[in-house]
């Protein structure tokens, strides 16, 4: 099988971007720490560094906790996925992808659609409601991840679902941030 054409196609797809972080594999707390350091140093001149970093962590934690593709050892149970931070002339793009159960697809899409339909003030109120409401079933937190992402980014959350088989799909979440000079 010729892999070179695939890599060249990837190169062409991102050639107009400066790739700051590109990772595919097991997402662990150690990976979060290392890439966090890289992001903060790469974006040191940006006032939105903390927001971009917070969304990066949220997306990575979603992979770590909820990916249907896992690496399980006697010491850990970690999710597998992909995360990408790119820079273009006027924007930063942050994307993540991982396998999810088909049972959760509609729930995730509905959450994204709901927060995408809210303005920043409505998101703040909704965030507070969720905090007061407690932890949803099956959640590792208060169900705030998608809301936190929507509050921090400068674009709607782009949620793409690609079916893989009868049990899993590939979930992609992408957002953007306007550069300071924009």
Do the Cβ atoms of 36 and 21 come closer than 8 Å?
Answer: no
Kindly give the residue spans of alpha helices, DSSP state H, lying in the chain: 4-14, 29-42, 49-66, 102-116, 120-133, 145-152
Banded model confidence at residue 4, pLDDT cuts 50, 70, 90: low
Domain boundaries, the chain: 4-178
Do the Cβ atoms of 173 and 59 come closer than 8 Å?
Answer: yes
Average of pLDDT values for 29-50?
Answer: 85
pLDDT tens sequence across 99-130: 999 999 999 999 999 999 999 999 999 999 98
Banded model confidence at residue 62, pLDDT cuts 50, 70, 90: very high
Q: What is the pLDDT of residue 141?
A: 57
Question: What's this model's pTM, rounded to 2 decimal places?
Answer: 0.87
Q: Which CATH architecture has domain 4-178?
A: 2-Layer Sandwich (3.30)
Report how far residue 64's alpha carbon sits from residue 59's, in angstroms, rounded to the nearest whole number: 9
Q: What is the pLDDT of residue 181?
A: 64
pLDDT at residue 50 above 80?
yes
Report how far residue 136's alpha carbon sits from residue 114's, in angstroms, rounded to the nearest whole number: 17
């Amino acid at each position: 099988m010729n892999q070179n054409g695939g890599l060249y196609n990837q190169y062409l797809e991102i050639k107009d971007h400066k790739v700051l972080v590109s990772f595919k594999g097991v997402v662990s707390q150690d990976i979060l720490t290392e890439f966090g350091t890289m992001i903060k140093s790469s974006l040191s001149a940006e006032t939105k560094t903390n927001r971009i970093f917070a969304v990066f962590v949220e997306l990575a934690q979603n992979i770590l906790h909820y990916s249907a593709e896992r690496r399980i050892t006697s010491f850990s149970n970690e999710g597998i996925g992909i995360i990408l931070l790119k820079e273009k002339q006027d924007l930063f793009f942050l994307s993540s992808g991982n396998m999810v159960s088909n049972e959760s697809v509609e729930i995730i899409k509905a959450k994204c659609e709901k927060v995408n339909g809210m303005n920043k003030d409505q998101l703040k109120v909704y965030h507070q409601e969720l905090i007061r409401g407690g932890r949803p079933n099956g959640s590792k937190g208060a169900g705030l991840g998608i809301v936190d992402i929507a509050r921090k980014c400068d674009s709607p959350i782009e949620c793409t679902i690609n079916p893989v088989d009868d049990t899993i799909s590939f979930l992609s979440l992408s957002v953007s941030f306007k550069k300071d000079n924009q």
